[in-house]
Amino acid sequence: MIKNIENQLPKEEIDFLKGKKLHLGIFTDPFLTFMLEGKKTIESRFTKNKIIPYNKIEKEDIVFVKKSSGPIIAYFKVKEVLFFNLKETPIEKIKEKYSEQLCVNKTFWESKKESRYATLIFIDKLVKLKPFSIHKKGMQTWLILVK
């Protein structure tokens, strides 16, 4: 992954990235566009099971942003992460507190009502990249690239 961006960033930034845990997130519009425009400041993953990134991502980790069925176009540093067991914290509380930063609507919340776990990832220092492709197998929407 780092090899693909070495010619796009200063050496100090490459060295910084080499020392971090790297993730790959798959993103769709309109949420991707909102993130790139700086409107969406929290990324969320709501799941029925405890799957990544739940309890597998930390503050200071790096998330590479891949457009669904497209290239990697950016990355961001994780400012903060919150994990919720939705049996203990009702999804309504998350909706009330974070909807605006998530840039989501009623349809989004309706589609997440069966979720049992939530991961909220606060975005810091989003860096746009010259798009590049990687080969990714499977339907996962989140991968850990480097631990």
CA distance 119 to 131: 27
pTM: 0.93
**pLDDT on residue 135:** 81
pLDDT number for residue 11: 92
- Separation CA 43–CA 25 (nearest Å): 10
| Local structure of 3: helix, strand or coil | helix
HSE, side-chain direction, 13 A CA sphere, residue 14: 11
* Cα(115)–Cα(106) distance, integer angstroms: 15
Alpha-carbon span 113 to 87, nearest angstrom: 12
* Location of structure tokens 């790096």: 62
The count of other CB atoms within 10 Å of the CB of residue 123 is 19
Q: Which residues of the chain have pLDDT under 70?
A: 1
Structure confidence at residue 110 (pLDDT): 96
75 Ramachandran zone, left/alpha/beta (phi>0; psi -120 to 50): beta
The pLDDT assigned to 97 comes to 97
